[in-house]
Amino acid sequence: MTADTEKPPETLRQGIGSLEIGLRILNTIAESPRPLTLKNLSDQLQLSPSRLHKYIVSLLRMGYIMHDNGSSYTLGRSCLTLGVAAIRRIDPIRMAFTAVEELNETTDKTVSVTVWNGQAPLVIKWLDASQPVAVNIRLGLELSPFFSVSGRIFLANLPEERREAMLGAFFQQPLALPRHGGKLLQRDAFREHLDQVRQDNLCCFYGDYLPDLNVAASAIFDINGNISSVISLMGMAGDTDIRPGSTLQQQLTGCAERVTQAICGQQHPKRHTG
């Protein structure tokens, strides 16, 4: 590539400094939990009030900010219009698919995406590793909420009343008890396990249901704090270390977190029970 055709990195290209300052002002107002005064903005942005005022006038004129109680500024209607338009263009499932394709390439592990169909997780994406694992799970299959990692992620994040109803119905006459870490779990222990799953946004099986197979899952959350989908990763125990802090665990949860951020999602705060 010649000097004439070589393109500089995106971050080094010449931009419009005044536009970037205006956007910094908007970002500062957007990230603040309360309206900001001119002095607040001046202190945070290290811009003189006189210089800052010119940008404020333009942002007010274009509707991107508005007065709040006379002396403070908050986001205006134009920001709302822009935000709604951006949200409408978000396709969380497509973004989850793209993310697991990259995860599959990076880790060479079998990965999947599931969504909640109202009763159980449904597999909507399945990508094998170069050496596929021998499991009877494929695209379109409905998984158990109690005996799959993705099912437990969904269960852990259901509204409490709905979750308790499902637990009550299941534990009334269980064909088999759920297990974790080699231990069978009664209802109270299983509830504690789900609380931990919710807190960590991570559920792992270490050969709990299929010998020598490790499986882990983590959720992608939408803008309302609900689960959009769950990403799972699996492989043979001998070369699939999914323990907390392991490289694969961090790759899995990092993948889910990046998609959550990209779709402006967030997890609901931990529910208080009892």
Question: In the prediction, which pLDDT does 182 show?
Answer: 86
User: What is the arithmetic mean of pLDDT over 55-83?
Assistant: 92
Mean pLDDT of the chain: 91
Mean pLDDT of 243-252: 96
Mean pLDDT of 214-218: 97
Specify the CATH number for 92-262; select among 3.30.70.250, 3.30.450.40, 3.30.470.20, 3.20.10.10: 3.30.450.40
Separation between Cα atoms, residue 162 and residue 145, nearest integer Å: 13
- How far CA 158 is from CA of 48, 153, 186, in Å, comes to 49, 9, 19
CATH tag for 16-88 (out of 1.20.140.10, 1.10.10.10, 3.30.300.30, 1.10.490.10): 1.10.10.10
pTM over 0.75: yes
pLDDT band, very low/low/confident/very high, at 134 (cuts 50, 70, 90): confident
Average pLDDT score over residue span 89-101:
94
Q: What angle do CA 166, 171, 174 make, to 5 degrees?
A: 115
Two structure tokens written together for 261: 């951020």
Contact 64, 26 (CB under 8 A): yes
Q: What is the DSSP string of 196-252?
A: HHHHHT-EEEESSSSTTEEEEEEEEE-TTSSEEEEEEEEEEGGG---STTSHHHHHH
Q: What's the pLDDT band for 138 if we cut at 50, 70, 90?
A: confident
Model confidence at 69, pLDDT cuts 50, 70, 90, reads confident
